[in-house]
Amino acid sequence: MPVIEIRDQVREHYAEHARTFLQGSAASCCGNGPGSCCSTEDTIPVQALTALHAKNEIPGDIVQTSLGCGTPLELAAVQPGEIVLDLGSGGGLDCFFAARFVGPTGHVIGVDMTPEMLKLANENKQKVGLSNVEFRHGYLEALPVDDASVDVIISNCVINLAADKDVVLREAYRVLKPNGRVVFSDIVARSALPQGLRKNMEAWAECVGGAIPRQEYEEKMQRAGFQNIRVAGEPQPDDLIYSAKFQATK
C-alpha cells in the first residue's frame, strides 16, 4: 500500500472521530475491538486516566476525547519551563496535561494531520483556558518543528499508524534537543502480523494493521539514533497486539 494512500485513509478515519466529538457525541473509540487502539479492555486504563486528568483539572468531556492507548506523561517527568511536543495530538488531552506540568514558562506543541482533530483540540483548549499550548497542522513524516528545539517528545497511539515508521522516528530525533527524551505509548504486535491484516485499511486505521513487533520498533529507534531505549509492556497470552511504552534519549 502506498504511504500517501494509507495516510489518507487514516486521516479520514480520525476526521470522522473528531466530527463525532465536535457534535458532542460520546466516544465510540476506534473499532471497539479488544486490543485495538482505545479499547477500554486492555489497552487504556480508563479509570486511571480519568483520575489523573481530574487531578489536573481537565474536564471530563475532554478526557472522553482521548483515543490513546496509554499514559506517556506518567514516565516523561516533564519539568516546569520545558518544551514538549506531542506527535499526533488528536483532541489535545495529553497536551493539556503536559501544559500543566511545564507551567507558564514552558510550552507545548501538538502536531496532527487531521484538520477536524485540530478544530477539536482548539475548542478543547478554549474550554481548559490554557495559553501555553498550540496545535500545528502537519505530518509526523515532516514535522513543522525546528531542529533540536524540544526537550520532550510524547506520543500516544500514533506511530503504529504511520506507513514509514523510520522516517517518523528520524524526524522525532531531528527536532529533539541533545539529551532530550521521548516517551511513546503505542500498539505493538506480538509477532509479525499476517499480510491480510496489514493490507486491511480498516484494521490499519484502528491501530492494528500497522503494529510491528516490539523488537522491530526498538531497532528502528536505534537506527534513528536514539539511545538508552527502554520498553515496558507485555502481551497477555491471547493478545495479537498490545500496548507498550518506549522511552529513549538523544
Ligand X SMILES: C[S@@+](CC[C@H](N)C(=O)[O-])C[C@H]1O[C@@H](n2cnc3c(N)ncnc32)[C@H](O)[C@@H]1O
Question: For residues 137 and 199, which CB has a smaller minimum distance to ligand X in the complex?
Answer: 137
Distance CA(95)–CA(153), nearest Å, equals 11
Pull the grid cell for residue 78. Answer: 516533564
Q: Does 158 bind ligand X (CB under 6 A)?
A: yes
Distance CA(35)–CA(202), nearest Å, equals 14
Q: Which residue of 63, 93, 153, 193 would you call a contact of ligand X, by CB under 6 A?
A: 93
Distance CA(173)–CA(177), nearest Å, equals 8
Q: Considering the complex, what minimum distance in angstroms separates the CB of residue 89 from ligand X?
A: 6
- Distance from chain centroid for Cα 147: 20
Q: Which residue of 27, 85, 98, 117 would you call a contact of ligand X, by CB under 6 A?
A: 117
Q: HSE on the CB side for 36, CA within 13 Å? A: 16
Q: By CB under 6 A, which span of 86-94, 194-202, 225-233, 241-249 interacts with ligand X? A: 86-94
Q: What is the contact mask toward ligand X in residues 2 to 41, using x (rule: CB under 6 A)?
A: -----x--xx--x----------------------x----
At residue 40, what is the residue type? T
For residues 206 and 37, is the Cβ–Cβ distance under 8 A?
yes
Q: What is the contact mask toward ligand X in residues 166 to 205, using x (rule: CB under 6 A)?
A: ----------------------------------------
Strand order in the sheet with 227-232: 133-137, 107-112, 83-87, 150-156, 176-189, 241-249, 227-232
Question: For residues 99 and 207, which CB has a smaller minimum distance to ligand X in the complex?
Answer: 207
Binding site for ligand X (CB under 6 A): 7, 10-11, 14, 37, 66-68, 88-91, 93-94, 112-114, 117, 139-141, 156-158, 161-162, 207
